[in-house]
Structure 1
C-alpha cells in the first residue's frame, strides 16, 4: 500500500520529546499524525523516514500508518505554536499517532516474539539505524508498546548513516540478545530471502518520494540530496556479503 496522501487541518501542539520535536497535527479526516517537516528535520531525514517505512512494512514490521502530508501555508503563518515554520519547505512526513502507547521499557522485551526481535535487529543493521538503543540502564529505543502487548516501530530519520561503522551502529541495540542466532544458517537464509525480496521493490519505492525531497533544486536534476538514492541502494546491497551477517 503506498503512503497516504494527507492534508493538514490543524496544528495541535509540538512534542516535548525527541531531538526533532515533531508536531501533532490533525488531518482533514480528523485523524492525528506525528509530523516532521522539511525545514525542521531536513530532506535527507524525510527520505530516510519514507524509505524505512516502506522497506520495514514490506518486511512485516509493525510500522504505524504513514503518509506524505501537505501543510497549507495558512496553518504555519497563523499559529502561536513555537517553531511551526519548520513544517514549511515542502511536503512533510506523517506517522499516525499510536494512541495509549508508551515507550518500550527493558522488562517488556521478554514479551516480544524472538522472530520479531530478529527482524527489527537485522532491519536496523540493514538501513544503518543506530537509534534503537536500550539497556537495563535506559536508552533511546524508538519503539512503542501498546496496551494490547503490541510493538510499534517508529522514527527512522537518522537511518542510512553511511559513514557509521556497523558495529558502532548496532552497539547496545535493544534486541542484541538475538545477535548470536544469526550464526544459524537457517535463520540467516530466511532473513536473506526476505531482504532480497523487499529490495526487489526498490524502483517502486523510490518513485513514491516527492521530488521536493530528492533534489536541492527542482530545476536541476544534478542537485541530488546526499546520501543519494544510488548510495542508499548500494548500502542496502551489502546484505549479499557474509560480513553483513556477522552480528557478534
Structure 2
C-alpha cells in the first residue's frame, strides 16, 4: 500500500529511458525513487499511476513501494538537472527504485509463474493498459526482472486509455500466451473474485488522490480532469460481464 508522504532532498538525475523520462530522487530517509511530476506527464496520468498501483497491490501484483512525494520549490529552482521544472504542479508520484533490476527480456518470460502471468494480463485489460508489449523482436514491456526479487510491475501512466479496443491492449502483450486459460471457468472465477475484492476498496483508493490531480480548478467540481473518477469506475466494473473474459 501507499507509503506516508515522501519528501525529496536531492534530485539525482533524469532517466534516459521511457517517453516521460522520470527523475531519480533521494528522499529524506536516503531511499531513491523514480518520480513523475504533474507538469511532466499531467494530472490524468498521475491519477492512473496511483489508482493502478493501489489496485495492482490489492491483486497481489509485485508493484514496488510507492507514494506521493513533495518536492520543495527551491530544490527544483536550483537543480542543474535537465527539465527539473517538470516536477512542478503539486505532489509527484514516486516509485521505489529496484536495485540491480533490468527490463524483462523475452527469454525470461518462462521464469515468471503462470498464475502471475495471467494476473498481469487480466490487470492490463482491466485498466486498459496497452503498454506491456514484448515479442522475440523486442518491445516496450514496463516490467523489471531481478534475480533476487523476480518480477516487478511498473509504469501505468498510459492506463485508462478509454478509447482503446481490447484487441489493441492484448496484441503482442508480453503474456498473451495465457489468453486461452480464461476459457476455464474455475480460472475465470478465481480472477473475478480477486478483481471484486480489489475494487471493493475504490472509495479508499480515490481518497488518496490529491485534489490537485483531479480538478483543473479545485474550487469547481465541474472541472474534473478526463477521464473522471466515475468514468474510471465504470470501466473497471465491466469485469462483471462475460464479454470482458473473451480474451482468446
Normalised-by-shorter TM-score class: over 0.9
Residue 100 of structure 2 is matched in structure 1 by 100
Residues 168-213 of structure 1 show CA distances to partners (whole Å, capped at 9, x for unaligned) of 1211000000000000000000000110111111011000000000
Q: Which consecutive unaligned segments of at least 5 residues does structure 2 have? A: none
Residue 16 of structure 1 is matched in structure 2 by 16
Cα distance in structure 2, aligned partners of 1:246 and 1:3: 36
Cα distance in structure 1, aligned partners of 2:200 and 2:177: 29
Residue 140 of structure 2 is matched in structure 1 by 140
Residues 87-111 of structure 1 show CA distances to partners (whole Å, capped at 9, x for unaligned) of 0000000000000000000000001
Cα distance in structure 2, aligned partners of 1:184 and 1:169: 21
Cα distance in structure 2, aligned partners of 1:149 and 1:36: 23
Kept in 2, the 8 Å contact 1:134–1:140? The answer is yes
SS in 2 for 1:213: helix
Cα distance in structure 1, aligned partners of 2:220 and 2:71: 24
Residue 69 of structure 2 is matched in structure 1 by 69
Residues 129-173 of structure 1 show CA distances to partners (whole Å, capped at 9, x for unaligned) of 000000000000000001226000000000000100011121100
Kept in 2, the 8 Å contact 1:67–1:95? The answer is yes
Alignment of 1:2 with 2:2, yes or no, is yes
Cα distance in structure 2, aligned partners of 1:215 and 1:245: 33
Kept in 1, the 8 Å contact 2:2–2:66? The answer is no
| Pairing 1:83-94 to 2, within 5 Å after superposition | 83-94=83-94
Residues 42-65 of structure 1 show CA distances to partners (whole Å, capped at 9, x for unaligned) of 000000000000000000000000
Residue 216 of structure 2 is matched in structure 1 by 216
Alignment of 1:155 with 2:155, yes or no, is yes
Cα distance in structure 2, aligned partners of 1:201 and 1:136: 38
Alignment of 1:168 with 2:136, yes or no, is no
Cα distance in structure 2, aligned partners of 1:152 and 1:197: 22
SS in 1 for 2:221: coil
Kept in 1, the 8 Å contact 2:64–2:95? The answer is yes
Residue 238 of structure 1 is matched in structure 2 by 238
Residue 47 of structure 2 is matched in structure 1 by 47
Q: TM-score, normalised by structure 2?
A: 0.99
RMSD over aligned CA atoms reads 0.8
Residue 189 of structure 2 is matched in structure 1 by 189
Alignment of 1:35 with 2:8, yes or no, is no
Q: TM-score, normalised by structure 1?
A: 0.99
SS in 2 for 1:222: helix
Size of the alignment, in residue pairs?
Answer: 248
Measure how far apart 1:2 and its partner are: 3.4
Q: Which consecutive unaligned segments of at least 5 residues does structure 1 have? A: none
Alignment of 1:130 with 2:130, yes or no, is yes
Q: List 4+ stretches of structure 1 deviating above 2 A.
A: 1-4
